[in-house]
Amino acid sequence: MQTEPKKSLVGEEYEVEVGPVAHGGHCIARTDEGQVLFVRHALPGERVIARVTDGEEGARFLRTDAVEILTPSKDRVEAPCPFSGPGKCGGCDWQHAAPGAQRRLKAEVITEQLSRLAGLTPEEARWDGTVEPAPGDKVPKGEVPAWRTRVQYAIDPEGRVGLRKHRSHDIQPVDHCLIAAPGVSELGIEKRDWPQIATVEAIAATGSNDRQVVLTPRPGGRLPIVELDKPVSVLRVHEKDGGIHRVHGRPFVRERAADRTWRVGNSGFWQVHPKAADLLVEAVMQGLMPKKGDMALDLYCGVGLFAGALADRVGDKGAVLGIESSKRAVEDARHNLQDLDRVRIEHGKVETILPRTGISDVDLIVLDPPRAGAGRQTVAHLASLGARRIAYVACDPAALARDVKYFAGEGYVPRRMRAFDLFPVTHHVECVVILERAAKGF
């Protein structure tokens, strides 16, 4: 017997009191009937009209936008960006919140995730409960810092530049992205049309004048002649294999951090905030306190940022092993650290490569896993190596909290935790937790 399709509630509106912030850039509210709403573009304590953007009758929750603010929060500001708001660009979650309020909201999310998934209070996590702004990011109320050194533009069928709407393939045309770093904006990508192109990724390196665009043509599309306002290297995503190929210029950009220059090729991973790499290296090294002669691991090592910082500190009698799954990143890491004989970089997945190394004990571990986290099996293996301290760098509070709980089950507890606002006006936040073996009787 076929069941009747459930009625879509998209477009329905509810007047609600907005409750606490939740992970993901929205707040929680309930209708008079008890239906849970995820409300974007709202702030805790506000009374709003929430319009459903996704959901049907009987759903556990409905996704909504606050389309009218009846009682505004004292933390509300007018969004500086004209492309921010219900039904517009989905890139920024908190344009409508004052800078200090954004950091408090992120701190509330971290606190909630630690409590719910790890069973820890901020005090037990050895965290002071604050989210620290990056140097230079404190701006007046109603302004946003221009921090994003890598921007992925979407191109509509007419060739106009835009950004994706929230949870959608639809495109919001834009003529300027406020959070784009000056090195991205100066290229003038938004000023021109991009016929036959699906996406344009713009990269502005920190510490060098390297600029790069990575073009993804539409199926069967031809590559245009690229003439931008500044010198730029051009790469393209190949239609058949998805690989990235050089068109002209260098196939990499040179980044600067931790007193080194880093080659990052083919649009490879690098922190998007210009201050992030140095800030995270400092937090990790202060927490680990490496000693001469230490044996250290840098897992999910990318182009070798933490491996290089560790190698400088463990000295000639120490050793560092980095493991990374991206073949191009491994090539870059080996190039970047070729002057350090005590560093070895292996290509492959951490859970596959690490057991094959035969390493049974180490002094220090750094892990900076993908958004999904390291997982129970990897955590158990790392704990078995008996490291004096482990530095966990995380861009997702939920994955971090889950893995911290797994570490606790293996006898490791937080010694110190810090949180950094490296993604202003979005819901994203970066955390660094230093773990060590629990004292007996903890």
By annotation, the residues acting in catalysis are: 395
> Which token pair is 244?
């990235």
157 DSSP 8-state letter: T
Q: At 199, which amino acid appears?
A: T
* Cα 26 to Cα 55: distance, rounded to the nearest angstrom: 15
Question: How far, in Å, CA of 45 to CA of 41, rounded?
Answer: 13
Enter the DSSP assignment of 372. T
Interatomic CA distance for residues 384 and 396, integer angstroms: 25
User: What is the C-alpha separation between 442 and 439, in angstroms, rounded?
Assistant: 5
- State the Cα angle at 394 between 390 and 396, rounded to 5°: 145
Neighbours of 223 (CB within 10 A): 12
What stretch of H or E contains 309?
helix 305-314
Task: Kindly give, in sequence order, each residue whose CB lies less than 8 Å from that of residue 349, ignoring residues fewer than 6 positions away.
Answer: 325
What is the C-alpha radius of gyration for the chain, rounded to an integer number of angstroms? Answer: 23
Hunting for tokens 């993804």 — which residue is that?
A: 216
Buried b (16+ CB within 10 A) or exposed e, 117-139: bbebebeebbbeeebbbbeebee
Scanning 57-125, the segments in alpha helix (DSSP H) are 99-113
Encoded amino acid at 61, one letter: F
Name the one residue in this structure whose structure tokens are 């009747």: 4
